[in-house]
Amino acid sequence: MDENIVISIARQYGSGGRTVGKMLSEKLGISFYDKEIIRMASDESGIDLKLFGKVEGGDSVKPSLFSKSTIYRGKLHQPDSKEFISDENIFSYQAKVVNDLAEKESYVIVGRCVNYVMRDRPNTLRVFIHAPWEFRVEQAAEKISGSREDIEKFLLKDDKRKQEYYRRFTGGTWNDATNYDLCLNSGKLGFEKCVEAIEAQLKIMFGK
C-alpha cells in the first residue's frame, strides 16, 4: 500500500480553502499544489498551457469525437490521436500528474477534482471547505475590487463554473458532502481550527 498521503481540498471561493491548504502543508512539512498542476501537465503533454487554462475556465477546446461523455476514466490519448487535444485528454493529463506525484510524495492539493480522480486510492483524505455567504463576500472583497453587487455576481459565477466543471469530468455534484471524507465550515471554525480538524481526521483515518 502506498504510504504517501494526499489531502485534496475542494472549496468555495471566499471560504479560505486555499489558505487552509497552504497552512496545512506548512504545518505538515509537505508540498502544496494548485495551479502548478496545469503547468506540469502542459510540460508533460506538450499541449499549450493556454488550452489547459481555457478548459479550467469552463470553455471547450474540442469535444471528444468518439464519446459524448467527458467523464474521467483514466485513459490518455497520444499525440498521434485525433483525441489528443480534447477537453477529456487535457483533464486526463492533469489527473496523470497528480497520480504520478502521489507515487513520489505526500502533498496537499487544491481543486482539480482530485477527490474524484483519487476516490479509490487509499491514503487520500478528501476535504470540502465552505462558508456562509456573508463570510465569503467579506473574504472575497479583500481580493477583488468592485461593489458588493459585483462581488456577489463573481461568487455566483465561480460556484457555477466549479459545479459545471465537476459535473463535466466526474458526472457528480461538486458540493455534495458524500463525495468527501470531511466537510468544514470555515466561517464558523476559522482557518486555524480547520487545519486542526484536518489533522485530527488524518489521525483517525491513517493514524498519522
Task: List pLDDT tens digits, range 164-180.
Answer: 999 999 999 999 999 99
Quickly state the pLDDT bin for 98 (edges 50, 70, 90): very high
**What local confidence, expressed as pLDDT, does residue 106 receive?**
97
Overall average pLDDT of the 3-17 stretch: 97
- Whether 184 shows a pLDDT value over 80: the answer reads yes
Output the CA torsion sign for 64, 66, 69, 70.
Answer: negative
- Whether 1 shows a pLDDT value over 50: the answer reads no
Q: In what order do the strands lie in the sheet with 107-110?
A: 31-33, 107-110, 6-11, 124-130, 182-185
- Whether 26 shows a pLDDT value over 70: the answer reads yes
**Cα–Cα nearest to 61, from 47, 75, 74, 80:** 47
- Whether 69 shows a pLDDT value over 80: the answer reads no
C-alpha cell, 62? 474540442
Helix (H, G, I), strand (E, B) or coil at 33: strand
Q: What is the pTM of this model?
A: 0.92
Of 56-60, 61-65, 99-103, 146-150, minimum mean pLDDT range: 61-65
Of 54-68, 76-90, 153-167, minimum mean pLDDT range: 54-68
Residue owning grid cell 504545518: 27
When the pLDDT of each residue in the chain is averaged and rounded to a whole number, the result is: 92
Say how many C-beta atoms besides its own lie within 10 A of residue 95's C-beta: 22
Q: Give per-residue burial for 69-94: e unless 16+ CB within 10 Å, then b.
A: ebebeeeebeeeeebbbbbbbbbbbb
| Distance between CA atoms of residues 205 and 115, nearest Å | 16
